[in-house]
Structure 1
Amino acid sequence: MPVRPLKPCAWAGCSTLVRGDYYCPRHAPLAAEKQQIAKRTVHKRYNERRDESDGFYKAERWRRLSIYYRKKHPVCEHCDNAASDLTDHIKPYKTHPELALDWDNLRALCRPCHNSIGERVGLLGSRP
């Protein structure tokens, strides 16, 4: 069985050759620590913004509109196969809060379609 070739450590400025890992033994713990700090920063930023959007989605006006919309649209508008579980914004609430309660900006989706659309669209706000 062929052996993988040696590659330089991914740490900037390090020329130690490694096989099978990205970092040499000296830089691996530093890289892991750097990654943890980056994760904490991202999570902190996300959680700071989350209270704002969670407040809207817990509001009585949104809950009533969401339930009513799903009663009018009982089947997923994306796949037309499953029952709708969620009311989704076509243009996301985070980027278009003025369209939060606009009937024309809503769509009823099943959970799998909602998750797949969210992964593809991200925060672009375009219809898939």
Structure 2
Amino acid sequence: MNEDLDNDFQKLYEKYKLARRKFCHDLEKLQRREENIRGYYTPRNVFNRWRDSIEGKKWKQNQYEKQQGKCACFGCAFVAQSPEYLEIDHIKPIATHPELSVNIKNLRLLCPPCNKRKGGR
């Protein structure tokens, strides 16, 4: 009788270990999925998707015309031949103002050297 009880307990314990392994595996998959979803909505990724969208490209073209192809950095004499030669700059950085990542009042066009110099501060 004791042997049957030990056998039943052993089987039950093995089922428990398998269920626990499956649960841990499923939990890890859910955690990875959550990280991916959260990453999708980071301010930088939201901005990158907007920048690459039709709306973002139209904004850049309009801003290029508004700035007459000039870099918006004070004292810079760079004039671009087309919008592709200018980069979208966040006046208030995404790192400190994530809520302004796609606020057009916080965006302007800079030449690559000025944007790189500003980003390095």
- Per the normalisation by structure 2, the TM-score is 0.48
Give 1 or 2: higher helix fraction.
2
